[in-house]
Structure 1
Amino acid sequence: MHLRPSLFIVIFAVLDLVTGTDPCPLVQCQCYQSSDDTTKRVIDCRDINSGGDITNIVNVATPTNEVFYELALQRSRITSVGPNVFQGLKFVKLDLTENFITSFDIDAFSGLQNDLRIVRLEASGSVSFPFQAMQNLTGLQEIYLKDFEQQGLDSSTKFEYFPNLQKLSMIRSNIQFISRSAFDGKLTNLRELEFTHNPSVSSFPVPAIRNLRTLTKLTWTFNDMDQTSPQMFSQLTNLVELDLSHNKINSLADNWYTGITSKLEFLNLQANNLSTATIQSMGTPDWPKLHQLNLAVNNLQDFPSGFFSKMPDLAYLGLGSNKLTTLRSTYFTGLANMYSLDFHENFIASVESGALAHMPLLRSVNLENQNVATLNFSAGSISGAEGIEQLYLINTPVIQNEMWGAIRKMTNLTELHLTRTRITSIPDLVFQNHQRLVLLDIEGNTLGSVTQAMFHGLASSLESISLTNTGIQTIGECVFKDFNKLKTIHLGQNSLTCDCKLHWLYDWIQNFQRTLY
């Protein structure tokens, strides 16, 4: 059969429509469907060396009417953005981060005002915010600015150019001050403000920020902020997320929280200098919607009785890298919705009987890397919280008889991490009721040998087990007999005796396409 040439043209045209293989308007770049907006394509020019001149990449031979979702130019060694450089292109998002831009022409963004909504710019640390070049981009909804040299923010800073802006990020831009009038009458639709790595603004600029009353998310991190002040957020009554982590806050003033407690769902105070004495004010108000609280990397040693009781919706609590020594039965009353507790890198030697009893929905507990001789984690410790599914005790020496007593009762476990806990044995039948356990990690302990009775009860659920560096020399065929879901066994750093007793292991790998490490 002979097909006419015109038929070939029709076929290829149809294929182009079906597969979306229209040519990319920039010949050095790739075009593909966006994951953020599947109706549009991305022009991906990342990691192409521009030699400093953006026109070596962005050079449109034939203008296109297609509106792309993104023009991605990260890591392209661009040092300047000249006039009308994007002429002939239409896109929603422009990403120029991870470059070292020293100048923006006044007409750098000419022609983009109808479609551009998101701009991400990174400079060399020697140029101020290019707002004059951006003055016609009134439809912008997101602006990200990093590594600029912006002396300060005051009434002359042209935020009024962006009446529709919803998200503003100012990262490491050497900002020295924020005046009271910086946002006065401006950015009335702003929902998210990210201000980080500007340590010269160490005092929170309350008079300026209180004008941003539509904020739902405020990120104020790595700014060397050392204290809070009374009613500092009183005008930000719509806040849902507040991140003050990685500062130097050493005290929380009375009533610092006024105005934000009724709606706040996420509060991050990680990596500050807070102590038991200086967080007392947090326990005073009601936090009816607070869902996540991170107090990790501080100097907390203890909590008053019922400290968290006015946070009834709390589901995640981060207390890692503090100085806690005991988890007391009085700490967590009223937390009926708690799902995950993280206590890694403390000095916890004991989890008191009933300490977790007030949290029936608790599913994950992290007690790894405790700096103690031994941790007493017993059946009493998990009384009332037997539904825990994930337990992390990595690098925490335990009193093994007490720990096994607790694990015997934790029949909902799906993951058990016991790496380097100094256990020397696994009691027979300890897992006989653990039909949900998928992952068991016992690496770095001194077991010497393993038997079928140790893992009895796991045949129908276990998928991965790590016995790396446990001193075992052989594994009998019956140990994992009928473990139909077991896919991976880690046996590294053991002096296994390679004789006929291990022939079953070879067959197990070959016949069932399983993995041995």
Structure 2
Amino acid sequence: MARVRVVRWTWIVLAGLCALATCELQQQCPTRAEISPCSCTLKKNGLDILCEFTDQQHISSAMGVLKRKEFVIFYLKLRHNNLRKLPAFIFLGLDIRHLTIHNSSLSTVEETSLSSIGKMLTQLDVSQNSLTAVPSAAYKSLHQLLILNMNHNKISNIHSRAFLGLDTLEILTLYENKITAIEDEAFVGLEKKLKRLNLGGNGLTEVPQKALSILDTLKKLEMQENRLTDIREGDFEGLRNLDSLGLAHNKLREVPSRVFSHLTLLNSLELDGNNIETIDPEAFVGLEENLQYLRLGDNKINTIPTEALKRLHRLRHLDLRSNNISGISEDAFLGFGDSITFLNLQKNFIRALTGISFENLNSLETLNLQNNKLMHLGEDVMEPILDTLRVVDIMDNPLICQCDLQWYKNWLRGLKDKDDEMMQKKRTVCMMSLEHREYNLQHLPLEKLNCAIKDPNISTSGSSRIGYCVAVMGMWASTVRVV
């Protein structure tokens, strides 16, 4: 009986080894001569086939060789070829998971060219070609497709039901086409799974509200680099799960009231690179509980839009670089600054800051004031944020060397690790007017300025300030007892 078990176990092991050997044999690359001018690399999940700088005839011949064996082609990359038309059934008999047809002058995709791989294909990249329309008939059988990349083509219109059949699609990118119109039912069929849609780099002049409204699973919408001049309340209705909205580099002049009111889960909003001058006090209604990242740089804003920002209780990252801001009022961050960790004000026209300009920024870690018009930046201005600050950029300001700049050197001395390394590399200087000479703030000539040198270990901020208060209260209490 024991001998029978041993024999049976031996057969099982041998059968397993044979199956493994067969599997490995199946996954061996064909020789270069067999599929030339294509090449093959063996990857963990299957073969990686690359065909470059060739034509349809040679590609079809290589596909014929691959069909004769049961390969799993994990990547098939057809790049820089002369492949104006994708013929019918060109992939018949192949198991392809990721297909790339890139920069190959592709303009026609026949209806049955992809049908045979529709049950296996999960990613399709047809970027940088000459497609003038979405080849809907060819796409309708791709029932397992997760990612579709159609960037850098010549599509001008997204017609109705263009993606019907792609009900598993999660990512659709149409960046850098020539899209000026999107029909109301363009995205019908994508409403079950689509999470990311990139319409950037096109010629849209308005938000295609009706087409977008059915995409209630969408997390990220990119519409940067279009020609949007206006956005209105209701434009984003239906996108109730949107987490990120990109509207950068359009032609917007204002942010009107309640325009984002339907986007209650929005975490990131990009409005940089427009012509925005006006932000309505109710512009960010609806974003109160979730918005953390707001980019308003490269616009024409004259002042920090405090009234609009007040309602953003969770705002962490505020970018206002390259605007027309000339000053910061004492209450600029009142009511919303407590959560901000990153503030970018570089390339503005800020000339002066008061002692309480940053008083409400209790969590600030990074402050960028580079390339402004600051001549003075005393410790009274910086003191409220020195305890939390890890990065400060005040380069390219016409700072005058004064005793009140001692804070920079003392603060720098307390930094550690990567923050310290990064800050040490910054060449932050001030001008000694009598000598007409620049000095690095790390080596401020305190003696020449007749400064009273402060001990960096003694501070009126943070815990030291608390300790001081406790000591004073203790003295007061003992005096009361003596009396």
Which residue number in structure 2 is paired with residue 319 of structure 1?
320
Which residue number in structure 1 is paired with residue 242 of structure 2?
239
Say yes or no: does 1:173 pair with 2:181. no
Which residue number in structure 2 is paired with residue 514 of structure 1?
none
1:415-458 deviation digits (Å, cap 9, x = unpaired): 3254364553357887xxxxxxxxxxxxxxx9xxxxxxxxxx9x
User: Against the structure 1 CA distance between its residues 131 and 185, is the aligned structure 2 distance closer, same or farther, given a 3 Å change threshold?
Assistant: closer
User: Against the structure 1 CA distance between its residues 30 and 307, is the aligned structure 2 distance closer, same or farther, given a 3 Å change threshold?
Assistant: same
Choose 298-307 or 278-287, whichever is displaced more.
278-287
**Aligned mates of 1:217, 1:95 — CA distance in 2:** 24
Counterpart selection for 1:182 from 171, 180, 186:
186
Counterpart selection for 2:273 from 261, 271, 274:
271
Counterpart selection for 1:419 from 427, 433, 453:
427
**Aligned mates of 2:242, 2:340 — CA distance in 1:** 22
Structure-to-structure mapping, 1:147-226, within 5 angstroms: 147-155=152-160, 157-184=161-188, 187-199=191-203, 201-226=204-229
Which residue number in structure 2 is paired with residue 381 of structure 1?
381
What RMSD in Å do the two structures reach over aligned CA positions? Answer: 3.5
- The one-letter code sitting in structure 1 at the alignment partner of 2:265 is K
Confirm or deny: 8 A CA contact 1:381 1:406 kept in the other structure: no
- The one-letter code sitting in structure 2 at the alignment partner of 1:238 is N
User: Against the structure 1 CA distance between its residues 391 and 91, is the aligned structure 2 distance closer, same or farther, given a 3 Å change threshold?
Assistant: farther
Which residue number in structure 2 is paired with residue 249 of structure 1?
252
Q: Alignment partner of 1:383: what SS? A: helix
Confirm or deny: 8 A CA contact 1:377 1:406 kept in the other structure: no
Return the offset for 1:54: 6.5
**Aligned mates of 2:123, 2:189 — CA distance in 1:** 22
User: Against the structure 1 CA distance between its residues 22 and 351, is the aligned structure 2 distance closer, same or farther, given a 3 Å change threshold?
Assistant: farther
Return the offset for 1:212: 1.7
1:81-109 deviation digits (Å, cap 9, x = unpaired): 23333345433222223332122233322
Return the offset for 1:236: 1.3
Which residue number in structure 1 is paired with residue 469 of structure 2?
none
- The one-letter code sitting in structure 2 at the alignment partner of 1:86 is F
User: Against the structure 1 CA distance between its residues 184 and 425, is the aligned structure 2 distance closer, same or farther, given a 3 Å change threshold?
Assistant: closer
Which residue number in structure 2 is paired with residue 229 of structure 1?
232
**Aligned mates of 1:21, 1:84 — CA distance in 2:** 23
Confirm or deny: 8 A CA contact 1:341 1:365 kept in the other structure: yes
User: Against the structure 1 CA distance between its residues 218 and 383, is the aligned structure 2 distance closer, same or farther, given a 3 Å change threshold?
Assistant: same
Which residue number in structure 2 is paired with residue 350 of structure 1?
352
Which residue number in structure 2 is paired with residue 116 of structure 1?
121
**Aligned mates of 1:204, 1:32 — CA distance in 2:** 45
User: Any stretches of 5+ residues in structure 1 without a counterpart?
Assistant: 1-10, 34-38, 431-445, 447-456, 458-517
User: Against the structure 1 CA distance between its residues 399 and 89, is the aligned structure 2 distance closer, same or farther, given a 3 Å change threshold?
Assistant: farther
Confirm or deny: 8 A CA contact 1:99 1:122 kept in the other structure: no
User: Any stretches of 5+ residues in structure 2 without a counterpart?
Assistant: 1-16, 432-437, 446-455, 457-483
Confirm or deny: 8 A CA contact 1:53 1:79 kept in the other structure: no
User: Against the structure 1 CA distance between its residues 427 and 336, is the aligned structure 2 distance closer, same or farther, given a 3 Å change threshold?
Assistant: closer
Q: Alignment partner of 2:103: what SS? A: strand
Return the offset for 1:239: 0.9
Number of aligned residues: 410
Q: Alignment partner of 2:275: what SS? A: coil
- Identity, % of aligned pairs? 17
Say yes or no: does 1:341 pair with 2:343. yes
- The one-letter code sitting in structure 1 at the alignment partner of 2:439 is S
Choose 238-247 or 183-192, whichever is displaced more.
183-192
Which residue number in structure 2 is paired with residue 29 of structure 1?
39
**Aligned mates of 1:137, 1:266 — CA distance in 2:** 32
Which residue number in structure 2 is paired with residue 50 of structure 1?
54
User: Against the structure 1 CA distance between its residues 210 and 407, is the aligned structure 2 distance closer, same or farther, given a 3 Å change threshold?
Assistant: farther
Return the offset for 1:17: 9.4
User: Against the structure 1 CA distance between its residues 421 and 159, is the aligned structure 2 distance closer, same or farther, given a 3 Å change threshold?
Assistant: same
Confirm or deny: 8 A CA contact 1:187 1:212 kept in the other structure: yes
More helix by share: 2
**Aligned mates of 1:418, 1:73 — CA distance in 2:** 46
Counterpart selection for 2:362 from 360, 363, 368:
360
- The one-letter code sitting in structure 1 at the alignment partner of 2:252 is I
- The one-letter code sitting in structure 1 at the alignment partner of 2:399 is V
Return the offset for 1:283: 5.0
Confirm or deny: 8 A CA contact 1:206 1:233 kept in the other structure: yes
Return the offset for 1:67: 3.4
- The one-letter code sitting in structure 1 at the alignment partner of 2:411 is K
- The one-letter code sitting in structure 2 at the alignment partner of 1:326 is G
Return the offset for 1:222: 1.6
- The one-letter code sitting in structure 2 at the alignment partner of 1:281 is E
**Aligned mates of 2:315, 2:279 — CA distance in 1:** 21
**Aligned mates of 1:24, 1:312 — CA distance in 2:** 60
**Aligned mates of 2:124, 2:326 — CA distance in 1:** 48
- The one-letter code sitting in structure 2 at the alignment partner of 1:352 is T
Q: Alignment partner of 2:59: what SS? A: helix
Which residue number in structure 2 is paired with residue 107 of structure 1?
112
User: Against the structure 1 CA distance between its residues 285 and 214, is the aligned structure 2 distance closer, same or farther, given a 3 Å change threshold?
Assistant: closer
Return the offset for 1:169: 1.6
Which residue number in structure 2 is paired with residue 491 of structure 1?
none
Q: Alignment partner of 1:282: what SS? A: coil
Confirm or deny: 8 A CA contact 1:53 1:78 kept in the other structure: no
Confirm or deny: 8 A CA contact 1:79 1:100 kept in the other structure: yes
**Aligned mates of 1:166, 1:309 — CA distance in 2:** 35
**Aligned mates of 2:359, 2:23 — CA distance in 1:** 61
Confirm or deny: 8 A CA contact 1:58 1:86 kept in the other structure: no
**Aligned mates of 1:427, 1:246 — CA distance in 2:** 37
User: Against the structure 1 CA distance between its residues 66 and 284, is the aligned structure 2 distance closer, same or farther, given a 3 Å change threshold?
Assistant: same
Return the offset for 1:214: 1.9
Q: Alignment partner of 2:105: what SS? A: strand
User: Against the structure 1 CA distance between its residues 41 and 150, is the aligned structure 2 distance closer, same or farther, given a 3 Å change threshold?
Assistant: same
1:226-245 deviation digits (Å, cap 9, x = unpaired): 01112222221111111111
Q: Alignment partner of 1:280: what SS? A: coil
Normalised by the size of structure 2, how large is the TM-score?
A: 0.74
